[in-house]
């Protein structure tokens, strides 16, 4: 796709160079491109239901965590923490663009902290991060190493012996208000919103994009979705291919 769309990418790069406020929103597709198994593809959903007796979104839910912590953590440790991805070219380019002053805000919908791992500091992590944990009772903070090295399925607080939970948004929970507000303000001020691998039909992303007042919402996605119609421009390709090519154009001068 990219060889025949050089003009298109060049035009987008020029628009980004002229813009004062570009927001980048990252999602699940760009995580999968970094090697993370997608528990929501058809094969895995079937396997998860067979192994754990429930669908992924039922296990990764607030209800499951409060009532079945053992099953929650069995799933979480194997399926979510089992093959943690490393940031690929998409995230390297986001970091380069941030350093070069091309990006004003980065909003992450995934929970794998790839933007921060790539060195981007001020990321709005709308769904939290698998690298952060806290005690449900006394709110003491913990890191991933503590969870991994804990002897026992459900990690417990070393102060009060209560269960520790991941600082991620579980199904059935809302995005924290302050994060939602930060994301909404970033989109409101944006000239260009660049969305990488998110279905625009979801209510969480629509909350962000509904605050955008411009006409340059660019979606990069590998597969067609119903929500693509909400973008001003859609580029059907992998995020990493688009970003590699975009950076070639941005760094040309």
* Interface positions with Zn ion (CB under 5 A): 135, 137-138, 140, 157, 159-160, 162
Q: Which is nearest to 31 in space by CA: 248, 244, 238?
A: 238
Q: Which is nearer to Zn ion, 160 or 185 (CB)?
A: 160
Instruction: Give the nearer residue to Zn ion in terms of CB position, either 140 or 244.
Output: 140
* Least spacing, CB of residue 142 vs Zn ion, in Å: 9
CB 81 within 8 A of CB 150: no
Q: Closest CB to Zn ion among 114 and 135?
A: 135
User: Looking at beta carbons only, is 47 or 139 nearer to Zn ion?
Assistant: 139
- CA-angle at 11, arms to 5 and 17, nearest 5°: 135
For Zn ion, give the closer residue by CB, 138 or 185: 138
Nearer to Zn ion, 3 or 149 (CB): 149
Task: Work out how close the CB of 70 gets to Zn ion at its nearest, in angstroms, rounded to a whole number.
Answer: 19
- d(C-alpha 145, C-alpha 14), whole Å: 43
Is the Cβ–Cβ distance between 124 and 183 less than 8 Å? yes
Provide the minimum distance between the beta carbon of 113 and Zn ion in the complex, in angstroms, as a whole number. Answer: 23
Calculated CA dihedral for residues 211, 187, 112, 29, nearest 10 degrees:
80
What minimum distance in Å lies between the beta carbon of 139 and Zn ion? 7
- In whole angstroms, how close is the CB of 146 to Zn ion at the nearest point? 12
Q: Determine the Cα–Cα distance for residues 23 and 107; give it in Å rounded to an integer.
A: 8
Gap between the Cα atoms of 166 and 136, Å rounded: 10
Helix H or strand E segment including 11: helix 6-18
Contact 228, 218 (CB under 8 A): no
For the bound state, the minimum distance from the C-beta of residue 133 to Zn ion, rounded and expressed in Å, comes to 11
């Amino acid at each position: 796709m990219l060889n025949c769309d050089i003009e298109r990418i060049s035009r987008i790069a020029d628009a980004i160079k002229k813009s004062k406020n570009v927001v980048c929103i990252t999602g699940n597709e760009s995580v999968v491109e970094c090697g993370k198994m997608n528990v929501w593809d058809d094969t895995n959903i079937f396997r998860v239901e067979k192994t754990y007796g429930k669908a992924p979104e039922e296990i990764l839910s607030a209800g499951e965590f409060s009532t079945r912590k053992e099953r929650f953590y069995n799933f979480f440790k194997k399926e979510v923490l089992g093959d943690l991805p490393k940031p690929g070219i998409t995230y390297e380019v986001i970091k380069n663009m941030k350093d070069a002053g091309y990006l004003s805000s980065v909003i992450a919908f995934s929970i794998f902290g790839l933007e921060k791992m790539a060195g981007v500091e001020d990321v709005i992590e709308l769904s939290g991060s698998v690298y952060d944990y806290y005690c449900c009772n006394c709110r003491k903070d913990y890191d991933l190493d503590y969870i991994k090295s804990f002897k026992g399925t459900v990690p417990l607080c070393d102060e009060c012996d209560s269960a520790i939970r991941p600082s991620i948004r579980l199904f059935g929970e809302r995005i924290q208000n302050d994060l939602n507000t930060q994301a909404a303000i970033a989109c409101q001020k944006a000239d260009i919103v660049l969305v990488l691998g998110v279905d625009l039909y979801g209510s969480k992303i629509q909350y962000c994009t509904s605050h955008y007042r411009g006409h340059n919402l660019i979606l990069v996605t590998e597969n067609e979705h119903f929500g693509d119609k909400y973008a001003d421009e859609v580029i059907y390709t992998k995020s990493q291919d688009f970003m590699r090519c975009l950076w070639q154009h941005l760094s040309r001068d």
